[in-house]
Amino acid sequence: MRIYALCACGVALMILAVGCETPEGNYDRTATGALAGGALGAGTGAIIGNYSGHHTAGGAAIGGAIGALTGGIIGNAMDQQQRETLTRQSPRTLQRFDQGQRLTPADIKALAKAGISDEVIISQIRNSHTVFYLNTSEIIELKDAGVTNKVIDFMINTPSMYPPPPPPRAYPPPRYY
């Protein structure tokens, strides 16, 4: 039985570490919460079911369903809270964010101020193919605005992620005979 408990804990930790993304590549707390809650609920339900009379499968099913529902509700509430905060603080950033447009350093500051997680900010930078060429003063401003080192480091490295397109081919002038 200890093996089942350890496996359930391992699966739950992997889900929490990896997380879920939407088809657009944005971090999704609703799905992550549902998966983590379901895994933890199933593990807990299996343990309780086993100790209450060998109904391990039934306990796991009930615990998994309740855990997934609860985790999804909590994750969705977290997503909505961040969205409402961003709506109040910077509606223009929210518009760019929703439309997958390129972000500016001011947008990154607004996202950090709204409490958006590093994973979501980095995911949005990656999906919008935004390239930042930050100078020292901009890096200091980002840091002072509460942007984490992880996000700043990602921003600094964006030029190497998205190299400029090759120059247009030079064709020889046409010959007229």
- Does a structural domain hold residue 120? yes
> Same structural domain for residues 109 and 75?
no
> Same structural domain for residues 43 and 117?
no
The reported pLDDT for the residue numbered 105 is 93
- Does a structural domain hold residue 175? no
CB within 8 Å of 97: residues ≥ 6 apart: 86, 103, 107, 111, 124
109 band by pLDDT with thresholds 50, 70 and 90: very high
Least reliable range by pLDDT among 65-69, 138-142, 147-151? 65-69
In the chain, the number of structural domains is 2
3 band by pLDDT with thresholds 50, 70 and 90: low
> Same structural domain for residues 10 and 73?
yes
- Does a structural domain hold residue 40? yes
- Does a structural domain hold residue 143? yes
Pick the more confident residue, 45 or 22.
45
- Does a structural domain hold residue 177? no
Domain boundary pick from 51, 69, 86 = 86
- Residue 116 in contact with residue 123, Cβ under 8 Å? no
CA distances from 46 to 11, 12, 39, 108 (A): 14, 14, 11, 43
- Residue 111 in contact with residue 130, Cβ under 8 Å? no
The reported pLDDT for the residue numbered 45 is 78
> Same structural domain for residues 70 and 17?
yes
The reported pLDDT for the residue numbered 7 is 57
User: What is the domain extent for residue 147?
Assistant: 90-161
> Same structural domain for residues 100 and 82?
no
Q: DSSP characters for 97-112?
A: HHHTPPP-HHHHHHHH
- Does a structural domain hold residue 68? yes
The reported pLDDT for the residue numbered 145 is 93
What percent of the chain shows pLDDT beyond 70? 77
Pick the more confident residue, 7 or 157.
157
Average pLDDT of span 136-163: 92
Domain boundary pick from 58, 86, 114 = 86
The reported pLDDT for the residue numbered 101 is 76
> Same structural domain for residues 7 and 79?
yes
> Same structural domain for residues 75 and 94?
no
Residue pLDDT, tens place only, 51-68:
877 677 887 788 778 887
> Same structural domain for residues 120 and 79?
no
The segment with the largest mean pLDDT, out of 86-90, 97-101, 144-148, is 144-148
